[in-house]
Amino acid sequence: MMIWLLAGAMLLVATGCICYLLLVPANRNNLSAGQSAERMNTTLYREYVSELERQYPAENEADRRQLLVEAQRQLLMDEQQGGARQVLEKQGSTLLIFVSAVLMVLAVVLYAHLGAMADVQIRDLLEDQTPGADAVLRSALLQRLEQKEDSYYYWLLLARLELNNDHPEQAVTAYRKAHKLSPQDAGTTAELAQALFVQAGHQLTREVERLVAEALKLDLNNTMALELAGIAASSRGDYQSAITFWQRAVELETTGSPNALVLKAGIARLQALLNNGTQGVDNGVENKEAGENIESNEKVLLALRIELAEQVRDSLIDKPDSTLFVYVREWQGPPVPLVAQRFTVADLPVEVSFTDAMSLSAGRKLSTVNQLEVIARISDSGNIVATTGDIEGRLGPLSLVDKTSYSLIIDQRLP
């Protein structure tokens, strides 16, 4: 908005300069010309009077007086015409200023109606992180879409906003609009599939699977489509295909990102199921149940109860969807987590269990590390890397030999 205020100020200065260049010299010239004409008329009148006195002697006083009256009348008429001309010129200057002001106002009104002022407002709202900004942004998007129903970008923004605010039905509606405007965009197709997946209670439907296949056909490297394809394969009991999809997604994700960590944990669980001989069960439902039984038989090496401290609870009342990362790493060792899980603030207090089957790396398991550190961090941005304003709790060093159950309190805000 500051850019537009500066632009308006510059426009005012430019208009003022133009008016000055047009009006001030003209006024000076008009004033000088008016004064010169007045002096000339007066001089001519005096010369004419002198000439009359020479040409008409006293005996012709009546004729001389008549000619003198006519000369005075002519001088008066010339002065009146000069004054009227100056008034007209002054009115013309006023009219020029008035027309300039009207044109400026008209330009602003037309720009507000036909231009991109609403787009500038939306851009500013996208950068606004204050509470309540999402509601204002949603209202602005809906209003703009009434004017530009064919705006793919705004339908996509609205869809993402609705999904982030846990409104899957509205998100699906907006995603369908965006997908209709750009059916060949793999990202939009995958995001529509994800919104439908969430709307169905995280259940796969035929439409979700169709859209996932369509997205991968358009772009084999779409990570969202790869994740959903892995979920679909896993639900069918095709663990090897699910692992393949998720491994490809991990390769495309940023190293250490939350999605990469979750996918690695999922790959580890499916790999454990394969190693225990569950692949090959004909019935998908039986396969899934068998996998769950095997996983439940894994020995729980670390159990945690995670709670919020009183001093930070109030600041999170209106942030139930903020991400909670719980991960375990080697005490004073590499920063890479051994195991990790993701929740939301709404899940707190939460009971968390970790097993070797959940290890993110096959070569480094919980049971092989002597001392551990547990970190529970709440992130508004959803980034597992600690940032200013995150709230966390730490516990360590822990030894799994003496004890396996612990309580962890989240009580520290990062500076």
Closest CA to 227 of 247, 207, 198: 247
Alpha carbon distance 360, 265 (integer Å): 5
Question: pLDDT tens for residues 280-307?
Answer: 333 344 444 434 443 433 578 888 999 9
Higher pLDDT, 332 or 225: 225
Closest CA to 14 of 110, 107, 123: 107
Q: Does pLDDT of 412 surpass 80?
A: yes
Alpha carbon distance 217, 211 (integer Å): 10
pLDDT band at 414 (very low <50, low <70, confident <90, very high): confident
Q: What is the pLDDT of residue 282?
A: 39
Q: Does pLDDT of 171 surpass 80?
A: yes
Which range, of 61-65, 205-209, 273-277, averages the lowest pLDDT? 61-65
Question: pLDDT tens for residues 178-205?
Answer: 999 999 999 999 999 999 988 887 778 8
Question: pLDDT tens for residues 230-255?
Answer: 888 887 778 888 888 899 999 988 87
Closest CA to 235 of 217, 253, 213, 209: 209
Query: Measured in whole angstroms, how far is the alpha carbon of residue 332 from the centre of its chain?
Result: 39
Q: CA dist 128 to 117, 123, 145, 192, Å?
A: 17, 9, 20, 26
Burial of 155-187, coded b for 16+ CB within 10 Å and e otherwise, reads: bbbbbbbbbeeebbebbbebbbbbbebeeebbb
Higher pLDDT, 214 or 415: 214
Helices (H), 200-304: 206-218, 223-235, 239-252, 258-275, 284-296
Q: What is the pLDDT of residue 288?
A: 41
Q: Does pLDDT of 318 surpass 90?
A: no
Question: pLDDT tens for residues 69-101?
Answer: 665 666 566 655 655 555 445 555 565 566 666
Question: pLDDT tens for residues 48-61?
Answer: 556 656 665 554 56
Q: What is the pLDDT of residue 65?
A: 60
Paired tokens of 410: 């989240």
Q: CA dist 239 to 215, 274, 290, Å?
A: 21, 7, 13
The side-by-side arrangement of strands in the sheet containing 350-354 is 350-354, 302-308, 405-410
Question: pLDDT tens for residues 100-115?
Answer: 666 666 666 655 555 5
Report yes or no: 305 and 351 within 8 Å, Cβ to Cβ: yes
Higher pLDDT, 19 or 327: 327
Alpha carbon distance 312, 412 (integer Å): 8
Q: What is the pLDDT of residue 83?
A: 52
Average pLDDT value for the chain: 74
Higher pLDDT, 129 or 226: 226
Is residue 208 classed exposed, middle or buried when 0-12, 13-18 and 19+ CB atoms within 10 A define those classes?
buried
Q: What is the largest CA-CA distance in the chain?
A: 148
Q: What is the pLDDT of residue 280?
A: 39
Alpha carbon distance 200, 198 (integer Å): 5
Report yes or no: 285 and 235 within 8 Å, Cβ to Cβ: no
Report yes or no: 395 and 296 within 8 Å, Cβ to Cβ: no
Q: Does pLDDT of 146 surpass 80?
A: yes
Question: pLDDT tens for residues 334-348?
Answer: 776 788 888 888 888
Q: What is the pLDDT of residue 175?
A: 94
Q: Describe the crossing of helices 152-164 and 186-199 by its angle, rounded to 10 degrees.
A: 30
Closest CA to 411 of 309, 317, 307, 306: 309
Higher pLDDT, 38 or 183: 183
Average pLDDT over residues 310-327: 85
Q: What is the pLDDT of residue 155?
A: 92
Report yes or no: 168 and 145 within 8 Å, Cβ to Cβ: no
Closest CA to 93 of 139, 150, 25, 192: 25
Average pLDDT over residues 309-332: 85
Q: What is the pLDDT of residue 296?
A: 38
